[in-house]
Amino acid sequence: MSSSTPPAALLERLQALAPDRLQGIRRGLEKESLRAQPSGSLALTPHPAALGSALTHPHITTDFSESQVELITGVHQGVQDCLDELTEVHQFTYRTLQAQGDDEMLWVSSMPCGLPTDETIPIGRYGSSNVGRAKSVYRMGLGHRYGRRMQTISGIHYNWSLPGVSSEEYFGLIRNFRRHAFLLLYLFGASPAVCSSFVAGRQHELQQLNDRTMYMPYGTSLRMGRLGYQSDAQASLAVSYNSLEGYGASLQDALTRPYPAYKAVGVRGTGGDYNQLATSLLQIENEFYGTIRPKRVIYPGERPLHALRERGVEYVEVRLLDLDPFVPVGITAQTMRFIDVFLLHCLLNDSPPDTPQEITELAHNQHRVAARGREPGLTLERAGAEVPLAQWGSDLVAQCRPIAAALDAVHGGTLYSDALASADAALADPSLLSSARVLAAMQETACGSFVPFIAAQSLKTRQHLLDLPFSAEQQARFEAMTTASVAAQKAIEAADTMPFDVYLPEYLSPERLVVKHRRAGAPSVAA
């Protein structure tokens, strides 16, 4: 049997999926973007008050930095509905910036704009409540541990669920996702270049394009390579995804085990100010970097790991997607449909347990594809052998065809099959990829440099979004959300009675990670 033939077990499980379950796929998007000046430098202004409270607004918050907006959709059954809401949130954000007389724009690349010195990149502020202070201290810790520059890298997270899937099945999906994630990095990576200032004083493997730009000629996603969310500390974590129990034990160890380099930083500085939440390898669960995470909605005051252990996996969060600079909101409906098919393939296929050897191979594959994904003849490691990326990718796409056909059957049309055809074309011709198009378009500009090119794309995108119709009704609805979010933050601050020095160790107590009983408490710190 050719490896491009869908396995019998996959076909059997697909046929057993009722149409209403396939129609029941739910997805949501979280998109990070830096606020930048038209010149391409980072906007150092605080998060605009007219956008509401970054602590409590359901759709508009900040990620690491005050300058890093995060735009969030609700949960949607329809791909286009999800994109429409993300577009609407962008429109309100831009209209608010414009109404303030601001010429700021949202940076359309995952790799950052021109950055100031590390210590002057402003970390996110969330008010005076205990939970708000904890979120800021967490970010201070990230700055000490990884540098603030690295934290300004942005991406899109795709949250996905299918009705009736058990935790065990979600972990099977996660293992297969990690095995085949190279294909998403190849197809949707869009960060092959970066401003030279980003790597100043750092060791790297990049080549110089000109005096202002570094790049990898065949790179797909510098964000997901050695320059991105990587650290020696986390590389020492051998997290297994073979079960919820094993995953939970690995995470608990990282959340409670002191790490020498972080002990040296200390929880508090000489002046008494907090440097970080804790000296453990991870401060909180969200610090764990991964291409995909098992997730569960948490109760107020609950730790994410406790929620997973008590109530199981509710959805998965895909974390390896770059912003596409050629797309107004950074991701297309076609990309989302491909990911739907891909995730179903990961779920329906047999998923053997992972091993330390395989985990090492997967890390090597991720770095190879991030740095050299479009290189002719590139091979990847699989079970100790070298396999051509193009062949492995084509086999996976071929195995996905019955899944796309099933989704087309329940939704009507051929949009899911079209997404696979587009992937096939890009595997045959890498020049069609966003990563290749970024380099080609950048080199065609007068200066041929990363920052001016992305600045021009960002300005075009801003204008496009401002030109879209936006009704008075939409404006009023978002303004109401802004007002409600500010009131919600004030209510949280007014309700706080516990001193922060008492609240923090209570929240971080290892007892909160294990399943005994749920404690009431302040809203969760979760990033």
65-107: per-residue pLDDT in tens? 999 999 999 999 999 999 999 999 999 999 999 998 889 999 9
13 lies in some domain? yes
160-189: per-residue pLDDT in tens? 999 999 999 999 999 999 999 999 999 999
Q: Which helix (H) or strand (E) holds 60?
A: strand 60-62
* Contact call for residues 54 and 311 (beta carbons, < 8 A): no
Average pLDDT over residues 124-141: 97
13-27: per-residue pLDDT in tens? 999 999 999 999 999
pLDDT for residue 231: 72
Which range (68-72, 133-137, 366-370, 442-446) has the least confidence?
Answer: 442-446
pLDDT for residue 236: 79
- CATH of residue 213: 3.30.590.20
51 lies in some domain? yes
453-466: per-residue pLDDT in tens? 999 999 999 999 99
* Contact call for residues 250 and 274 (beta carbons, < 8 A): no
- Amino acid (one-letter) located at 521: G
Q: How many domains are contained in the chain?
A: 1
518 lies in some domain? no
Question: Exposure string (b/e) for 23-51, b if CB count within 10 Å is 16 or more?
Answer: eebbbbbbbbbbbbbeebebbeeebbebb
Which domain, by its residues, includes 360? Answer: 8-513
Q: Which residue has the higher pLDDT, 103 or 138?
A: 138
* Contact call for residues 411 and 19 (beta carbons, < 8 A): no
Average pLDDT over residues 190-203: 90
495 lies in some domain? yes
DSSP lists the bridge partners of residue 235 as none
2 lies in some domain? no
Rounded to a whole number, what is the largest CA-CA distance in the chain? 67
Which range (58-62, 160-164, 223-227) has the least confidence?
Answer: 223-227
Which range (296-305, 404-413, 438-447, 497-506) has the least confidence?
Answer: 438-447
Indicate left, alpha or beta for 412 from its phi (over 0: left) and psi (-120 to 50: alpha): left
393 lies in some domain? yes
Q: Is the pLDDT of residue 327 over 70?
A: yes
The residue behind tokens 């569960």 is 296
Neighbouring C-beta atoms of residue 109, cutoff 10 Å: 30
Average pLDDT over residues 195-217: 90
Mean pLDDT, the chain, rounded, equals: 94
* Contact call for residues 437 and 193 (beta carbons, < 8 A): no
Surface-to-core class of residue 294, CB atoms within 10 Å of its CB (0-12 exposed, 13-18 middle, 19+ buried): buried
Neighbouring C-beta atoms of residue 124, cutoff 10 Å: 25
* Contact call for residues 160 and 318 (beta carbons, < 8 A): yes
pLDDT for residue 522: 43
1 lies in some domain? no
519 lies in some domain? no
